[in-house]
């Protein structure tokens, strides 16, 4: 069952354009807000969706999964774990859940395969790791962390990433592990229409450190070794203790070209915008003008969230050390 939602989060801003943003605690806070001990925000993808097209039973399945992932991350932070540990734990849970387009639930490429991407970044030192186009690493987010912590590189791709993952002791699986009938049927239905989806998480720990991570199965029916924004630092993932952590979901080509995740951080650093204003500027103005669809989840250095999308829905959840929490789709 979903735990009671804080009344603070029940107000979701709906814009005439169909864009939406879910405000967090004291996003218009005065200078006496000293920050939260810890906080965590996550997403499970964004896109065109409506309550009428998604039966209540299906909505509950997604909400329960999001809530369980949120709780796993909050438990890590409550116990004194790092933001990196929390982000990886949340994303692993979502990668292992077939409802989401990451890991086990990854969509299929045009030739009926699964190709996975992931990245992670820590805000205290701007260190980062990523993998792209992997086909046999059970949890790509673990491989991204290993690249960050156990190699001199930022990104490894394809077979090289798998060899590295095997060398550092990560679990490899037969590519058939990622096969789900639901996703394969989806490929059959949408040969002429791309589908998007990603999972991601941003956490602030008790030491005041931010971390952001993102993982995806890409877009259904993709071709030619396409890689989107999820493993690209500054596009789909970014974290900086001076400003914020960001995880993005949507049309990756636009998020890469407009360096969405870093742009939100840059607006905060150079224009002194708050996290929600910066996220809205990028997602609801810049991306919309460019024709890009998608959303972001963010945390600033005090744990205040921004959950902004220019689509009709985004799977998302937020919780913090004060006991405030929310889970939402629309």
Single out the catalytic residue among 76, 122, 198, 243: 198
CA distances from residue 157 to 83, 153, 297 in whole angstroms, order as listed? 25, 11, 26
3-class DSSP string for the chain: CCCCCCHHHCCCEECCCCCEEEECCCCCCCCCCCCCCCEEEEEEEEECCCCCCCCHHHHHHHHHHHHHHHHHHHHHHHCCCCHHHHHHHHHHHHHHCCCCCCHHHCCCCCCCCCCEEEEEEECCCCEEEEEEEECCECCHHHHHHHHHHHCCCCEEEHHHHHHHHHHCCCCECCHHHHCCHHHHHHHHHCCCCCCCCCEEEEEECCCCCEEEEEEECCCCCCCCCCCCCCCCECCCEEECCCCEEEEEEECHHHHHHCCHHHHHHHHHHHHCCCHHHHHHHHHHHHHHHHCCCEEEEEEECCCCEEEEECCCEEEEEEEECCCCEEEECC
Give the strand pairing for 155-157 and 244-250. unpaired
Q: Could you confirm whether 198 is annotated as catalytic?
A: yes
Residues belonging to the active site: 198
């Amino acid at each position: 069952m979903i735990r009671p939602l804080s009344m603070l989060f029940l107000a979701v801003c709906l814009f005439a354009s169909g864009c939406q943003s879910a405000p967090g605690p004291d996003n218009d806070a005065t200078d006496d807000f000293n920050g939260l001990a810890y906080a965590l925000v996550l997403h499970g993808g964004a896109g065109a969706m409506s309550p009428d097209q998604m039966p209540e039973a299906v909505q509950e399945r997604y909400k329960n999964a999001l809530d369980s992932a949120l709780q796993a991350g909050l438990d890590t932070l409550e116990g004194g774990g790092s933001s990196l540990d929390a982000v990886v734990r949340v994303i692993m849970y979502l990668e292992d859940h077939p409802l989401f387009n990451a890991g086990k639930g990854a969509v299929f490429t045009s030739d009926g395969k699964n190709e996975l991407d992931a990245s992670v970044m820590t805000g205290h030192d701007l260190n980062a790791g990523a993998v792209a186009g992997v086909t046999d690493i059970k949890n790509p987010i673990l491989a991204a962390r290993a690249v960050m912590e156990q190699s001199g590189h930022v990104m490894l791709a394809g077979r090289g990433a798998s060899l590295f993952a095997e060398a550092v002791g990560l679990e490899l699986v037969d590519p058939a592990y990622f096969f789900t009938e639901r996703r394969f049927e989806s490929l059959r239905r949408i040969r002429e229409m791309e589908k998007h989806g990603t999972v991601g998480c941003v956490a602030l720990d008790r030491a005041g450190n931010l971390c952001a991570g993102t993982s995806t199965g890409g877009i259904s029916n993709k071709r030619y070794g396409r890689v989107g924004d999820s493993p690209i630092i500054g596009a789909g993932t970014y974290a900086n203790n001076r400003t914020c952590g960001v995880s993005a979901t949507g049309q990756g080509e636009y998020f890469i070209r407009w360096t969405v995740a870093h742009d939100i951080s840059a607006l905060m650093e150079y224009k002194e915008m708050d996290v929600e204003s910066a996220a809205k500027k990028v997602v609801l103005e810049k991306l919309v003008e460019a024709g890009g669809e998608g959303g972001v989840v963010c945390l600033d250095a005090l744990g205040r969230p921004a959950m902004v999308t220019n689509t009709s829905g985004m799977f998302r959840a937020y919780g913090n050390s004060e006991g405030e929490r929310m889970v939402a789709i629309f």
